[in-house]
Amino acid sequence: MNIIKPIAKLIIVLTMMIAMLPAVNAQNPSVINQTPPPQQYPWVKDHINKRKPITYVHEREADIMWSKRIWRTIDLREKINLPLYYPDNEEVIDRKSLWKVIKMGLLSGEITAYDQPAFDDEFQLELTLNQVKGKIATMDTVYTQDSLGNMTMKTVPKEIMTENIKRYWIKEDWFFDKQRSVMDVRIIGICPLKEKIDMNTGDFRGYEPLFWLYFPQCRPMFGRYEIFNRHNDSERRTFDDIFHKRLFSSFVHKESNVYDRYIVQYTGQMGCLLESDRIKDELFVMEHDMWHY
């Protein structure tokens, strides 16, 4: 009995303290409100957050009969690629653009950026966090007025937003696995391209590559963010699904060659798309010719 009474008193005191907590929070604004935010949907969306990327099949070099390295350009202005670009408003909570996800991964250290003086795509030079911050910012012209009314022009750093990234390069390997008897493809790297704007005239001057990202390292983060599905809001895909299932449009701008040249260097502007289609047809014919009917 002597032991039970102190325990009962302790329980009563703890109950009274817990009951007083809401009143203390109401009187003290400095106390953080622990009330969860309202749900955006009638159900709890937790499938995407718990998903993991589809594991690649282990490949042996002895099983690879044929392979070809391809570089592609993804233009986000094409209709099928719009889910990778929007929302261009980076404050939207429900969805994020591909560039927003990449920036979050770079600043958190989950994704590593690579660069070289000649801008090769061999993932040799790893960028530091400060170098990455310099890469994801551009210089903007600002006019200021002093106390005498004189206008002065100066350049200030401005963060690159989603609207400034409308193209991506991807580096991939196509190969035929004789063990599984399939033609397969693996994306090796991805590179965002920013628009180059003339600071004096505001005219568009083309695209400039920022850095290369090792795609297998990006997959875990790409698999945690969904993109818009125009047919069904409850069956949205992740960024990793889009790349893994090839649900995007692109054109080839380079294939492995002895000169290491881009298509535009030996065909000119007019023949780029025709040469790109020829390379795509070669991949299809190679897979088709592996079989006898």
Predicted confidence at residue 25, as pLDDT, reads 47
Beta strand 151-159 pairing with 165-177: unpaired
Question: Which positions ≥6 away from 287 have C-beta within 8 Å?
Answer: 176, 183
For every residue of 113-156, DSSP letters joined together read EEE-TT--SS--EEPPHHHHHHHTEEEEEEEEE-TTS-EEEEEE
**282 membership: H or E segment, kind and range:** helix 272-289
Q: Which two tokens stand for residue 197?
A: 């704007």
Contact at 8 Å (CB) between 221 and 240? no
pLDDT confidence bin for 168, thresholds 50/70/90: very high
In the predicted structure, residue 190 carries a pLDDT above the cut 60: yes
Nearest to 174 by CA among 62, 256, 52, 257: 256
pLDDT confidence bin for 230, thresholds 50/70/90: confident
Contact at 8 Å (CB) between 129 and 103? no
pTM: predicted TM-score of the whole model, two decimal places: 0.80
Contact at 8 Å (CB) between 172 and 69? yes
User: How close are the terminal C-alpha atoms of the chain, in Å?
Assistant: 90
Nearest to 99 by CA among 169, 163, 171: 163
Predicted confidence at residue 124, as pLDDT, reads 87
SS3 of 225-271: CECCCCCCCCCCCEHHHHHHCCCCCCEEEEECCCCCCCHHHHHCCCC
Compute the average pLDDT of residues 28-34: 52
Residue 81 has φ and ψ, to the nearest 5°, of: -95, 0
Q: Which residue has tokens 């790297």?
A: 189
Question: What would the pLDDT profile of 47-106 be if each residue is shown by its tens digit?
Answer: 777 778 889 999 999 999 999 999 999 999 999 999 999 998 877 777 899 999 999 999
Predicted confidence at residue 146, as pLDDT, reads 66
In the predicted structure, residue 24 carries a pLDDT above the cut 50: no
The number of beta carbons lying within 10 Å of the beta carbon of residue 175 is: 17
pLDDT confidence bin for 23, thresholds 50/70/90: very low
Q: What is the mean pLDDT of the chain?
A: 84
Integer Cα distance of 212 and 172 in angstroms? 13
Predicted confidence at residue 20, as pLDDT, reads 57
Integer Cα distance of 262 and 42 in angstroms? 51
Predicted confidence at residue 75, as pLDDT, reads 96
